[in-house]
Chains A and B, each alone.
Chain A
């Protein structure tokens, strides 16, 4: 099984005795990834104003890129000519690409989904109808050359209650998975993850997860969540999916990046996460700290000569004060870069703390302490209390 041609080897190291949390390593063509892992999003082949060297300093082992954006610019041809995205951007660690479908449905209001694929009208003056099929998505992703790639899935708005539509989407997602696997030309260097769909319906999610389990794949994504649904629904869908998906393969919950959500999803047995939030919020001067976030634009930081976070060892916190950041935030790009570095360092530190606690058998204690720090009045949101109870952690006690 660990033949050198296998582009994804998953090894679990420690399993939490109470919850479903586990620490693991994912061995990929561009190095190993310590999981649970947060994967920052570098949409267009670059991480929001950071040099690769800065990402290496932050010990980031895998980043995301968006197929839809890269397919438009620089385009498949240029990326192929450059020898793939790793070489194009000179990034020597791992990459993961999405299928492009989600971006299309969310960015282009006119996108239309048929059995063939996602159809939309191009935004330029040609007004050509463009069709993104499962085959086409994989073709682009093969050119980009990411270490982990996503199947094209049939995305339904998370809050939709149209059972017929969700049923159709689940079936279609499975059929498209087969087409993606058939079209895949680089099976020895890239691994396709199927995406569990099914909206907020227990039956349909179960069906989707079970269908994917029968396929020859090396990991799974849980999709169609984090789109505005209630958190009470969200955690149940994650919980249910991880209960079905095989234990010995990585599970990736798409679109999750808030600290509380990450802690919950890890307890529910998820291994990989991505979200634009930490980098996007940096642009508006929001810096992440363990108990939430601070907005550096606020006047109260004008004469605050402490770093964003005294506990943080990032290059921003080592050199800059809240006061200086307050004065340049949203005014100079440097401020954006500085807060981005800190926010990524924060995500890294959080995930490392999680891994260490799982490894040392103290994860349940960590969860309790973490939630208490975030909600010092112990008024835990129901979804946090319920989800933790489902994995044997009683927060109220």
Chain B
């Protein structure tokens, strides 16, 4: 794979292209900023391949965390084919990551030269060699090197330093294996930049991982421990570190930030020159029975940021989730029907919500690219900020008045 971007500014919204070097130049092309499709156990949450083909006309890249696919390793060592075909998504490209952005990563349990990953079968210790063996087995189109990303805003200095030490060690070992590997010679490799919220440590990490031309791009890691908590991290908190890192990354390499960031945060991060995100946000929204309804246009009319279809007001509401939405859920079904499915805990409820939410999120990224092209990103961001503030107000008033509701929903 290759990445090209038309900009010389280091920390600003940018349009780029991601394409496969070994295919014809017109096929397999993605425009950035873009979003990877988050998977669990190799499948989009609730979505089978048959349904996926009904809702997706374009090629996509699926993000496959090792934590939820580690149990495949024995089968993969005998399977003729790559991880995307094993999980029934061979028409997609695949990107493997270590941790699962949709789920809180348990902190701690560090052992020298190893990273603990939490699988269904419990804790598994992974070192760089074991990791690279797995990658050669799974043969993704893109992968992120092994990394120690176990830091967040509250991490102590000692932990941050350790995470960078480990990340650099892993980087050297993985890069050595990658360069020698015949299997991975066409695979796009992503290096990780860790260092928590310490500029000094971020610099140390950057200095160590940004010199090799064979690296295809960078993921800014170690900002959080994944899971739903990421949704409400304020931009001001991550801004200094993200700005610093993007300003010091090579401008021609792709930049990834993973996690359930809310759309306003995504716009901020795009503003810092981030190119790739993932749909784990859609997953957590779906799990709380909500549908994304924030604006995709720049007109003056404000919309609700999201609606929770379990609320009783939707029981006899026979409108689609979002009027004018062209997704399968909105063209075929009503809020009332989805409310019913959620109320009786039928499996079709989350399926329809996922269909809408992922559709809406993909269109959100189309809108972002359009805004960058037309230089209207600030206006759009102002509008989304207003809608998001209203939503936050609603959430916080509910939290203070009735915490049990939130607890029951999580």
- Bitwise, B61-84 to A at CB < 8 A (1) or not (0) is 000000000011011001110000
Asked whether, in the complex, the Cβ of B347 is within 8 Å of the Cβ of A315, the reply is no
Query: How far is the CB of A49 from the nearest CB of chain B, in Å?
Result: 3
Pairwise interchain contact A78-B86, C-beta atoms closer than 8 A: no
Q: Is the CB of A331 within 8 A of B41?
A: yes
The answer to whether B47 touches A334 (Cβ under 8 A) is yes
Interface residues of B in 289-321 (CB under 8 A from A): 315-316, 318
Note all chain B residues with C-beta closer than 8 A to A57.
50
Contact across chains for B88 and A74 when beta carbons are under 8 A apart: no
Indicate if the CB atoms of A46 and B348 lie closer than 8 Å. Answer: yes
When chains A and B are docked, how far (Å) is the Cα of A276 from the Cα of B71? 31
Inter-chain contact B75/A73, CB cutoff 8 Å:
no
Q: Which residue of B lies closest to A332 (CB)?
A: B41
CB proximity of A279 to chain B, nearest CB, Å: 10
- Whether B333 is near chain A, meaning CB under 8 Å from some CB there, is yes
Interface size on B, residues (CB 8 A): 43
Residues of A within 8 A of B11 (CB): none
The answer to whether A327 and B336 touch (CB under 8 A), given A49-B347, A51-B328, A333-B350, is no
CA distance A359 to B194 in the complex (A): 70
Which B residues touch A44, using CB under 8 A? 340-341, 344, 346
C-alpha gap A74/B336 in the complex (Å):
9
| Most A C-beta atoms less than 10 A away, residue of B332, B334, B340 | B340
* Contact, CB under 8 Å: B43 / A332: yes
CB of A284 within 8 Å of the partner chain: no
**A320 and B88 contact, Cβ closer than 8 Å, known pairs A51-B351, A328-B41:** yes
CA distance A315 to B46 in the complex (A): 16
A250 contacts B by Cβ under 8 Å: no
Given contacts A48-B347, A54-B50, A54-B51, contact A321 B86 (CB under 8 A): yes
Residues of B within 8 A of A258 (CB): none
Tell me the bound Cα distance from A54 to B40 in angstroms.
22
- Selected contact of A88 from candidates B42, B47, B79, B337, CB within 8 Å: B337
Scan residues 196-210 of chain B and give those whose CB is less than 8 A from a CB of chain A: none
The answer to whether the Cβ of A161 comes within 8 Å of any Cβ in the partner chain is no
CB atoms of A74 and B332 under 8 A apart: no
- Are the CB atoms of B348 and A50 closer together than 8 Å? yes
A82 beta carbon closer than 8 Å to chain B: yes
* Contact B75–A302 (Cβ < 8 Å): yes
Q: How far is the CA of A17 from the CA of B340 in the complex (A)?
A: 48
Residues of B within 8 A of A324 (CB): 42, 72, 75, 86-88
Q: Across the interface, do B120 and A331 meet the contact criterion of CB distance under 8 Å?
A: yes
Residue B214, interface by CB 8 Å:
no
A336: interface (CB < 8 Å): yes
Task: Give CA–CA (A88, B315) in the complex, Å.
Answer: 11
Whether the pair B72, A78 counts as a contact (CB closer than 8 A) is no
List, in ascending order, chain A residues with CB within 8 A of B78's CB: 303, 305
**Contact of A323 with B75 in the complex, beta carbons under 8 Å:** yes
B48 within 8 Å of A by Cβ? yes
In the complex, chain A residues whose CB is within 8 Å of the CB of B340:
44-45, 73-74, 78, 88
Does A46 contact B346, Cβ atoms closer than 8 Å?
yes
B343 at the A/B interface (Cβ < 8 Å)?
yes
User: What are the residues of chain B within 8 A of A47 when measuring CB–CB?
Assistant: 348
User: Which residues of the partner chain A approach B47 to less than 8 Å between Cβ atoms?
Assistant: 334
- Please measure, in the bound complex, the distance between the C-alpha atom of A324 and the C-alpha atom of B74, giving whole angstroms: 11
Distance A305 CA – B81 CA, assembled complex (angstroms): 11
Minimum Cβ distance to chain A for residue B318 (Å): 6
The complex places the Cα of A334 from the Cα of B120 at a distance, in Å, of 16
Say if the beta carbon of B54 comes within 8 Å of chain A.
yes
Mark interface residues in A71-94 (1 if CB within 8 Å of B CB, else 0): 001100110011000001110000
Q: A49, B351: Cβ atoms under 8 Å?
A: yes
> Within the assembled complex, what's the spacing in Å between the Cα atoms of A48 and B349?
10
B49 at the interface (CB under 8 A from A): yes
Chain A positions 296-316 with a Cβ under 8 Å from a chain B Cβ:
302-303, 305, 315-316
Interface check A196, CB cutoff 8 A: no
Min Cβ gap A172→B in Å is 31
- With A74-B343, A328-B43, A338-B48 already in contact, the answer to whether A52 and B316 are too (CB < 8 A) is no
Bound-state CA distance A305–B42 (Å) is: 16
Q: Looking at the complex, which one of A49, A73, A316 makes contact with B344 (CB distance below 8 Å)?
A: A73
Question: What is the chain B residue whose CB lies nearest that of A45?
Answer: B340
- Name A327-360 residues within 8 Å CB distance of B: 327-328, 331-334, 336-338, 341
List A contacts of B79 (CB < 8 A): 303, 305, 323
- The answer to whether A90 touches B332 (Cβ under 8 A) is yes
A333 to B333, CA, bound (A): 21
CB distance from A156 to the nearest CB of B (A): 29
Q: Nearest Cβ in chain A — how far from B16, in angstroms?
A: 32
CB-CB under 8 A for A319 and B49, given A46-B341, A74-B343: yes
Interface 1/0s, chain A 47-75, versus B by CB < 8 A? Answer: 11111111001000000000001000110
Closest to B333 in A: A90
A88 to B335, CA, bound (A): 10
Beyond contacts A49-B347, A303-B79, A320-B49: 16 other A-B pairs, Cβ-Cβ < 8 A, are A44-B344, A48-B346, A51-B54, A74-B315, A74-B340, A82-B316, A89-B337, A302-B74, A303-B75, A316-B48, A324-B75, A328-B42, A331-B41, A331-B120, A333-B347, A334-B41
Interface residues of A (CB under 8 A from B): 44-54, 57, 69, 73-74, 77-78, 81-82, 88-90, 302-303, 305, 315-316, 319-321, 323-324, 327-328, 331-334, 336-338, 341
16 A-B pairs whose Cβ atoms sit less than 8 Å apart in the complex: A44-B340, A46-B348, A48-B347, A53-B54, A77-B316, A78-B316, A88-B336, A88-B340, A90-B332, A305-B79, A319-B50, A320-B49, A323-B86, A327-B41, A327-B72, A337-B48
Q: Can you list the 9 inter-chain pairs with the closest CB atoms, starting with the nearest?
A: A49-B347, A315-B50, A334-B43, A319-B88, A46-B348, A74-B340, A328-B41, A320-B88, A332-B41
